[in-house]
Amino acid sequence: MDEFLEVGQTWYVLDYKWYESWKDYSNYADSASNFGKDDPGVIDNSQLLEEDGSLKEKIVEDINFATVPERVWHMFVKCYGLANGQEPIPRPVIKMGTFTKVTKIELYPLPLLLAHYKHPTDGKLERCSVAMTIGELKVKMRKLYKIVEEAEVKLVGSYTSAEYDKLDDDSLTLEEANLQPRQFVVIIQKDGAIWPKLDTYKKTTASCFTSSTKASTNGTSAKSYSSSNGFSSSYSNGSLSSSSFFSSSSEKAGAPGLCGLRNLGNTCFMNSSLQCLSNVPTLTKFFLGDAWKKDLNSKNPLGMKGEIAETYADLMKAMWSGKNSSVAPKYFKGAVGRFAPRFSGYQQQDSHELMAFLLDGLHEDLNRIKKKPYVEVKSTDGKTDEEAANQAWQDYLARNDSIIVDLFHGQLKSTVRCPDCKNESKTFDPFCYLSLPIPPKKTKKLKVFFVSRDLGQLPVKCRVKVPADGSIADLCKSVADKFDVSANKLVAAELYNSRFQKIYKDQDSVRGIQDRDELYVYEVDEAEGQMPVVVYFKETPTKSYQAARNLCIPSIISVPVDVTYDDLYDIINSRQRLVNSEEAMAYLSNNHNADIDQRNGLQHHLNGVDIVDKDMGGDVDRDMGGDVGSEKEEPMDICSSPKATDQPQIFDITLVSQYGYSQSNGLPYTGSLGLKPLNYLAVEFDKGLNVVRADDAFDVKEDDSLYDSQSEPGVTLEDCVQLFATEEELGKHDTWYCPVCKDHVQAFKQFALWKLPKYLVIQLKRYKSSMSSYSYYRDKVDTLVKYPVKNLDLTPRVIGSQTNSKYLYDLVSVSNHFGGLGGGHYTAYARNHDLDQWYYFDDSSVSAAAENSVVNKSGYLLVYERHE
């Protein structure tokens, strides 16, 4: 929606695929595929919600969900309705950040466990906006615990049982007070003229953490904490030192550096980055001592007032003290959120973006240049590469001099060449990390559900290999080859929530198909005079205001072009397995008083009926048909009259939209129905019938290809460096002005490594965007990149004139990302320098790891250390 956010507004969260369907239907987005679209039907947010109705964690905007302003939401609900049993998902627009403020939608309100000091085990989970003030929280807790306004109260915050914070500044927001998810806030009431003693606070907080309170931020049970540690004496002066917060958990403390980081609410990305940098020996040694304090530059206008450096130093001391098995990086996260609001809140973020921000923040907080001089960019005309590179480096050091520059900064040579006059422009730029592209795969494996025309076979879930830039026709050919069927008889579709989301045509590209998509390939009969139609199987609701519920995956069946209602009923009834013969006979007998002959006819008709074709769907740009009539048995007498409604039936048939929602009052009972290929039909079983439940109706067979253990060839890190250094042509919208031709041209650009740092940070570009002729795709590259653990030799790649320099590197740490764009989880591998052993860090958990496990398909961010 093209509308600006304003503080105080309410926006609403809705399913992204529903929103995309609505855009297609309304032509909101320009797309060549908008033809023939049905309305999107009722809004169904079930894929965004946990069982308790709360919003799922680790969902991503424009992949899993979209947001719309309040007026648009009400318009949507008025026009399309909201799925039964679901509540709207409103979210406020607030200001976030302290020094740098941004306006954003607060997707996840802060879950706090509120307690009264006299009733510590009776904690109540409340979700509060981080824009709420401490004063407003105090008022809320007064009402919650029925404390009169005249009574004097104070709030105490506690994240572990070992320490607590006084929350005595009513003007601070919850974000500014640095409250964290699942943190206890205890309200303390003055008893006459006396405040309860310190021991009372201790017992209250300890009781809170040892209680088995079941609570959740978004449907996940909160952990129960226990500790024998006492309270910090720092309470007496009204403040809490950051080091006291990093108390040991009840688990046995490990060696220095073998310290987990607690997840504060979707902060695995931050924990992964921190573990990677924590195991950079030179940097950590610098912060464990006091040398960093000499470089602290709290007045740097480009810095973070020294807070990033200070909280990072405290965190490193806690992690390397050898006293803690895990710590909560609460104060560090608070500092990061104040200066970079995109990292505030509790949405999943990117570990590389966090590390880039952290390295830049540490650099500016520790910049030894107290007053940056103005440096004029000098011409490189007539200078050799060595002279130009050295001049550029000295100019950079005149404004930037820190431990981060010493350890992590290198220099790149960038050459831009005019394709017409061959004029070249050369620049030498500093870098803190390298973002390396991953060579594209020639093929990709897609997960599909194949549904055979043979009613005796279950749908098969499998993987097939297709060209990476192939089409749906290529996909159908691969499926046809695997199952020995005709590719011309295959139909492909994407289903979502048991509804058709996208109807594919042969020429559609497979590039936009992702592993999370439900891709079905269905075999359709092909015979003259036949056509395919789509059938939804539904249960008639028990309440008039309810919508019919899908009983299984919709099917595609072939019917005669001039099919009548009676024939259509017989064909569908012969292919359904949701109601067995005994149930149908009993139902018809009890509800319609059918005579014994009719029941015998029904028994004859239903005997031997096989599985329903349930996991099906599709649309193709070709003529298709099927010879259902040649396989069906004689229709039973009960349905053979010219007017089916005169006889008892177990279901009704209606025309519906693409998404399975009703759009007509039914079909004519006499004459040809006038159906067209791939019309959508709904079969609604009478509500008194006993139908097969979901577990049986959704049965599939899993093919061995899903678990193919054959290792992919993958690519090497050298391949990635080679691609990074390959000359490429700039895009049409990224032209360069050639001073010789005096025109903007599509120039050629090339990077080369000129100078490399002691510690080299490499990001593998696993997230990509691409455009087809009418669609925009975002996807994750899951190619295995084989990066060396020892002796990465970049010497041949460095073109600077440093004589006799060797650039040999050993791997220090790896940030891993598991999952796709729509969520996922971050962990880290790191080598403990003192123990010379690899370890695996997964939030609070730390375990020893084998060196050969470090190289894996999830490797995303690499940190290398240069040999001395």
Q: Cα dist. 196→118, 188, 192, 454, 775 in Å?
A: 10, 8, 10, 76, 65
pLDDT tens-place string over residues 185-218: 989 988 877 887 655 555 555 455 444 333 333 3
Residue 381 pLDDT greater than 70, yes or no: yes
Counts of helices then strands in the chain (DSSP H, E): 19, 40
Q: Please provide the DSSP assignment of 224-247 as one string.
A: P--------GGGGGT---HHHHS-
Model confidence at 238, pLDDT cuts 50, 70, 90, reads very low
Residue 227 pLDDT greater than 50, yes or no: no
Residue 26: the pLDDT is: 77
| Average pLDDT of the segment spanning 819-824 | 70
Active site residue 817: no
Q: Which residue has the higher pLDDT, 576 or 496?
A: 496
Residue 251: the pLDDT is: 47
| Average pLDDT of the segment spanning 518-532 | 86
Cβ-based burial of 425 (10 A; exposed 0-12, middle 13-18, buried ≥19): middle
Mean pLDDT lowest for which of 200-209, 393-402, 683-692?
Answer: 200-209
Model confidence at 859, pLDDT cuts 50, 70, 90, reads very high
Q: Which residue has the higher pLDDT, 2 or 483?
A: 483
In angstroms, the CA 592 to CA 853 distance is: 67
Residue 778: the pLDDT is: 66
| Average pLDDT of the segment spanning 131-150 | 92
Q: Which residue has the higher pLDDT, 646 or 516?
A: 516
| Average pLDDT of the segment spanning 308-318 | 95
313 phi/psi in degrees, rounded to 5 = -65, -45
Q: How many residues does the chain have?
A: 868
Residue 248: the pLDDT is: 39
| Average pLDDT of the segment spanning 544-568 | 80
Given a contact cutoff of 8 angstroms between Cβ atoms, the answer to whether 436 and 765 are in contact is yes
Model confidence at 745, pLDDT cuts 50, 70, 90, reads very high
The set of residues, in sequence order, having a beta carbon less than 8 Å from that of 717 and lying 6+ positions away, is 436, 762, 785, 786, 787, 788, 792
Residue 631: the pLDDT is: 38
| Average pLDDT of the segment spanning 167-178 | 89
Mean pLDDT lowest for which of 212-216, 427-431, 437-441?
Answer: 212-216
Cα distance from N-terminal residue to C-terminal residue, the chain:
55
Residue 600: the pLDDT is: 43
Name the active-site residue from 208, 268, 276, 738: 268
| Average pLDDT of the segment spanning 76-83 | 90
Mean pLDDT lowest for which of 46-50, 53-57, 158-162, 393-397?
Answer: 158-162
> Inter-axis angle of helices 581-592 and 596-606, to 10 degrees?
160
Residue 651: the pLDDT is: 83
| Average pLDDT of the segment spanning 261-279 | 93
E strand residue ranges, 323-391:
326-327
Active site residue 604: no
Q: To the nearest whole number, what is the mean pLDDT of the chain?
A: 80
Residue 235 pLDDT greater than 80, yes or no: no
Q: Cα dist. 669→261, 486, 611, 655 in Å?
A: 67, 35, 27, 13
Residue 217: the pLDDT is: 36
Model confidence at 553, pLDDT cuts 50, 70, 90, reads confident
| Average pLDDT of the segment spanning 506-533 | 86
The one-character DSSP state at 82 is: B
| Average pLDDT of the segment spanning 83-94 | 90
| Average pLDDT of the segment spanning 723-739 | 91
Name the active-site residue from 116, 363, 817, 825: 825
Residue 548: the pLDDT is: 65
Residue 64: the pLDDT is: 86
pTM: 0.73
Q: Which residue has the higher pLDDT, 825 or 578?
A: 825
Strongest mean pLDDT among 207-216, 224-233, 487-496, 660-669: 487-496
Helix (H) / strand (E) containing 521: strand 518-523
Strongest mean pLDDT among 516-520, 604-608, 612-616: 516-520
Residue 706: the pLDDT is: 81
* Percentage, residues of the chain above pLDDT 90: 39
In angstroms, the CA 493 to CA 523 distance is: 12
Helix (H/G/I), strand (E/B), else coil: 382: coil
Residue 617 pLDDT greater than 70, yes or no: no
Mean pLDDT lowest for which of 313-327, 356-370, 631-645, 852-866?
Answer: 631-645
Residue 773: the pLDDT is: 41
Residue 252 pLDDT greater than 60, yes or no: no
Q: Which residue has the higher pLDDT, 443 or 629?
A: 443
Residue 608: the pLDDT is: 38
Residue 498: the pLDDT is: 80
| Average pLDDT of the segment spanning 495-503 | 83
Q: Tokens 């959508």: give the residue.
A: 680
* Percentage, residues of the chain above pLDDT 70: 77
| Average pLDDT of the segment spanning 430-450 | 92
Helix (H/G/I), strand (E/B), else coil: 551: coil
Q: Tokens 């990086």: give the residue.
A: 329
Helix (H) / strand (E) containing 357: helix 351-365
Cβ-based burial of 652 (10 A; exposed 0-12, middle 13-18, buried ≥19): middle
Q: Which residue has the higher pLDDT, 636 or 48?
A: 48
The set of residues, in sequence order, having a beta carbon less than 8 Å from that of 611 and lying 6+ positions away, is 455, 456, 457, 458, 577
Mean pLDDT lowest for which of 15-29, 322-336, 450-464, 604-618?
Answer: 604-618
pLDDT tens-place string over residues 631-687: 333 333 333 333 444 556 778 888 888 777 776 667 888 888 888 888 888 888 877
Residue 712: the pLDDT is: 67
